[in-house]
Chain A
Amino acid sequence: MGPESAAPVPAALPVLDGWFTLDARAPHLLGSRCKSCGTFYFPKLTTFCRNPACAGESFEEVPLSRSGRLWSYTNACYQPPEPYVAAQPYRPFAIAAVELKKERMIVLGPVVRGVGVEALHVGMDMELALEPLDDGRLSWKWKPAR
């Protein structure tokens, strides 16, 4: 699917329903925001605000910033246990922790295939992408920003 494609919705099913938008070109994680104190939540929180100074019980769903700076990174050299579903033979993948400036939070995610730890360094710009996990279910992943 080229960048000019008119059909941005991928065919694959998401690994988690409602955790991210399915816009393949510019996906966003879907979080929530407390209407009282402005605190963001990922995954979404819709019940009681966790800020001890806030009694908020009202939240709005918000797309989170889709880019940020790499806080740290690693990889999974060994096959993770279930419920991770691994292709055989197992292929290691990188994992990123990305700091979102506006939300002031750090979000974890796998890194897209083809980008290993040798291509990463703390502080670099990262952006959100969608890519299937080994079992074909679509997940959010981080990749170096273009």
Chain B
Amino acid sequence: MTKEIAILGVGMHPWGKWGRNFVEYGVAAARAALADAGVDWRDVQFVSGAATMRCGYPGYVAGATFAQALGWQGAQVNTSYAACASGSQALAAARSKILAGECAVALAVGADTTPKGFLAPQKGERPDDPDWVRFRLGISNPAYFALYARRRMALYGDTPEDFAQVKVKNAEHGVANPNARYRKKFTAADVAASAMVADPLRLMEICATSDGGAAIVVSSLEYARRAGKADAPRIAAISTVTPTFASEVVEMPDLATDSAVAAEPQRFRGALPRKAYEEAGIGPEDVDLAEVYDLSTALELDWMEDLQLCARGDAARLLREGATRVGGRIPVNPSGGLACFGEAVPAQALAQVCELSWQLRGQAGARQVEGARVGITANQGLFGHGSSVIVKR
């Protein structure tokens, strides 16, 4: 039995700092995805929401919140929370229901409204919470991204100019994306002129937080055939594995890695796509494009290697050669990535899949990757969450 499901339709509410209720973005995205799919909302049998933690109780039960806002119609419902991988887990829940025969067509949806400035921990004196402790010592999120970036410079000879080129490339990609928040081209000089946040990373190299919403209508292959969409893009893998002890890299919000005296260190970011390739029965050589989680410019280079698109340490070389821009051998973040979107946590992993769908359908306009047949996403969040999704046609 095939483990694939069809993507019938995708939709997004543009990313920005709109300051409205997250439900509005989610419903707008859901209606766009339903229209794209040609599916009547009343025919959806399962609503799979990705939770947001910053919008009160309606955010914790996002699946039901969106279902009510779209109009209660008796569908099965579920809400997933997995930090930045929440959207992928909502999608995985929909896939499981479909493959188990418990529904034929489902809607996965995530949306967020974000506060301004640094993400900060909950208040109070909480020394048992590593997230509180690291902020108490002054170690905020960009510090972790910068530690990884500096490590690349020491190990592989990457330079701040390389990192800036990731921003320049992604800005060029995103300029034509109507859903992107930042649609402006930047030069390396612009990046170098922005304020240093966490050496070697500057303000323009670190992902902002955004409002936004994304939704995907998925179905069984049989349902897709009957709907006349036998050639719709298919989800071939959704990897949401945990890390394996012992951690090789200090992961946010930890203060230390696991000690590796009793078990060899393992790289979490590498494990996510490895499981996805295995599930899809394909390899990195089959991939035409990738949407990766560029929380910082340098992190995009780490992801390229973790996705095995090149050997460890070779990512900057590919970037310099232009291989990762649209028109190159293996375009990375044709959507513009987080550099152009900022992060809307529960929607972001779904947005990556939306982009792959448009690309594989040849509907990505000026940022189209010609002849794209296979795309992969990569994403990572706090507390051992992450995902990698493969879409093919």
A-side interface residues toward B, CB under 8 Å?
15-17, 34, 37-43, 50-54, 71-78, 80-84, 86, 93, 95, 97, 103-110, 117, 121-123, 133, 139
Complex contacts, B244 vs chain A, CB 8 Å: 52
Task: Contacts A37-B262, A77-B197, A95-B198 known; list 9 others, CB within 8 Å.
Answer: A39-B259, A54-B262, A72-B147, A75-B146, A76-B139, A83-B136, A84-B136, A104-B265, A122-B150
User: What are the residues of chain B within 8 A of A83 when measuring CB–CB?
Assistant: 121, 123, 125, 132, 135-136
In-complex Cβ contact of B130 among A43, A71, A104 (8 A): A43
CA distance A15 to B136 in the complex (A): 9
B134 at interface by CB-CB < 8 Å: yes
Inter-chain contact total with CB atoms closer than 8 Å: 146
Contact A74–B143 (Cβ < 8 Å): yes
Interface residues, chain B, with chain A CB atoms under 8 Å away: 117-118, 120-121, 123, 125, 127, 130, 132-140, 143, 146-151, 153-155, 195-201, 244-246, 249-250, 255-263, 265
| Nearest chain A residue, comparing its CB with the CB of B202 | A77
A122 touches B261 (CB 8 A): no
Given A16-B127, A77-B197, A81-B118, residue A51 in contact with residue B138 (CB < 8 A): no
Chain B residues in 8 Å Cβ range of A75: 146, 198-199
- Contacts A53-B263, A72-B151, A117-B199: A42 and B138 contacting too (C-beta < 8 A)? no
Q: Which 9 pairs across A and B sit closest by C-beta, in order of nearness?
A: A74-B146, A122-B154, A40-B259, A81-B120, A104-B260, A37-B262, A80-B138, A72-B147, A72-B151
Q: CA of A74 to CA of B148 in the docked complex: distance in angstroms?
A: 9
A105 to B263, CA, bound (A): 12
Cα A78 to Cα B117 with chains together (Å): 11
Q: Tell whether, in the assembled complex, residue A74 and residue B154 are in contact, meaning their CB atoms are under 8 Å apart.
A: no
Q: Report Cα–Cα, A17/B130, bound state, in Å.
A: 14
Residues in B with CB closer than 8 Å to A37 are: 261-262
Complex contacts, A108 vs chain B, CB 8 Å = 134, 137, 139, 147, 250, 255-256
CA distance A100 to B210 in the complex (A): 38
- A50 contacts B245, C-beta separation under 8 Å: yes
12 A-B pairs, CB-CB below 8 angstroms?
A39-B259, A50-B258, A74-B147, A76-B198, A78-B118, A80-B139, A81-B120, A81-B140, A93-B138, A107-B256, A110-B138, A139-B137
When C-beta atoms are compared, the residue in chain B nearest to A139 turns out to be B137
Docked complex Cα distance between A115 and B255 (Å): 21
Q: Which among B134, B249, B261 is the interface contact of A40 at CB below 8 angstroms?
A: B261
Report yes or no: B139 in contact with A105, Cβ–Cβ below 8 A: no
A53 to chain B, nearest CB (A): 7
User: Complex: how many Å from CA A72 to CA B156?
Assistant: 13
A76 to B147, CA, bound (A): 11
CA distance A82 to B117 in the complex (A): 12
Separation in Å of the B204 CB from the closest CB of chain A?
A: 14
Inside 8 A of B199's CB, which chain A residues have their CB? Answer: 74-75, 77, 117
Report the minimum CB–CB distance from A130 to chain B (whole Å): 13
**Looking across the interface, which residue of chain B has its beta carbon closest to that of A99?**
B257
Q: How far is the CB of B360 from chain A (nearest CB, A)?
A: 38
**Residue ID in chain B nearest A76 by CB atoms:** B138
Contact residues in B for A42 (Cβ distance below 8 Å): 255-256
B133 touches A43 (CB 8 A): yes
- CA A12 to CA B75, docked complex, whole Å: 60
Asked whether, in the complex, the Cβ of B118 is within 8 Å of the Cβ of A74, the reply is: no
Task: Please pick, from A41, A76, A104, the residue contacting B140 in the complex, using a CB distance under 8 A.
Answer: A76
Closest to B200 in A: A74
Which residues of A have CB within 8 Å of B123? Answer: 82-83
The answer on a CB contact under 8 Å between B255 and A39 is no
- Rounded to whole Å, the gap between the CB of B277 and the closest CB of chain A is 23
Question: Known: A74-B146, A97-B250, A107-B255. Contact between A16 and B260, CB under 8 A?
Answer: no
